[in-house]
Amino acid sequence: MSEKKNLSKIARSFGSASESYDISARLQRYSGKNLMPWLPNRNDLTVVDLGSGTGFFTEILATRYHQVIGLDISTQMLNFAKQNRSNEIVWLEADAYKLPFADRSIDLIYSNLMIQWCEALPVLKAEIIRVLKPGGLFIFSTLVDGTLFELKSSWAQVDDDKHVIDFKTPEELESIFNSDDSKLIESSSKDLILEYENVLHLAKELKGLGANQVPKKQSRGLAGKDKWQKMMQSYQDFIEPSGIYPATYSVFSGLMVKLND
């Protein structure tokens, strides 16, 4: 699947979940709040929320900064944000690989759990560098290797197809964001274990995250009923004594600065 088609499918997945997204987005709340201490104290900044979703954190940014732009690929997410968030925020529908900003025009780009869906991450990083001012910041969180290992292991007992995205390692991210034109000055990694009533509960939340869109998947469409039953049976190896189904999310947070030209 081409990168453009994959992003389009992710956009539709996010869009279909827009009305319930703020209720179920436990992971986004956790990771987004963890980025807050890295935000600059100056308020005279032009800030972009890259992958703004429903605008929950965009609105928080708007209470701190002079000009805030929420950018997302999903029309439905943006419509939700326009109807429910501050009218002082500028909302833009755009592709993250083609940011609609002039060179060296943005002070800060904030991105909470979006870049893991971008396969061509070096291309995205180059675009971020293009629009940031020298000394500008990219503050982000993303998912890394180890995420959903329970689900990946359970599907591996069923077939050899790819059912869970291959997330990058922290080392791969560090090599991308530490380069001639940028430096990763802060980073942290932490595993967050969320609890679910059953595998279908997990699958529903993953759809809202866009994590049900898997590049390089061999088969198309939903897995057959028999395969789902086998996978759910395998997942029971991870069930907690209380009967709760755990799912691990490995969250990487980073603060990158654009070096002077």
Residues of the chain with pLDDT under 50: 1, 9-11, 13-20, 22-23, 220-221
Q: Rounded to 5, what percent of the chain is helix, strand, coil?
A: 40, 25, 35
Q: DSSP per residue over 194-212, as a string?
A: EEESSHHHHHHHHHHHTTT
**What would the pLDDT profile of 147-190 be if each residue is shown by its tens digit?**
999 999 999 999 988 888 889 999 999 999 999 999 999 999 99
Q: Which domain does 38 fall in, by range? A: 3-258
Which pTM value belongs to this model?
A: 0.86
Residue 206, pLDDT score: 84
- DSSP string computed for 105-139: -EEEEEEES-GGG-S-HHHHHHHHHHHEEEEEEEE
Specify the CATH number for the domain of residue 208. Answer: 3.40.50.150
CA distance 174 to 62: 29
Q: Supply the pLDDT for residue 204.
A: 84
Q: Which two tokens mark 72?
A: 């997302």
Predicted confidence at residue 210, as pLDDT, reads 63
Residue 260 is given by DSSP the state P
- pLDDT, tens only, 9-38: 444 544 444 444 544 578 889 999 999 999
- The domain total for the chain is 1
Centroid of chain to Cα 24:
15
Q: What is the pLDDT of residue 18?
A: 45
pLDDT of residue 56: 93
What pLDDT does residue 232 have? 94
Q: Using only C-alpha atoms, what is the Rg of the chain? A: 19
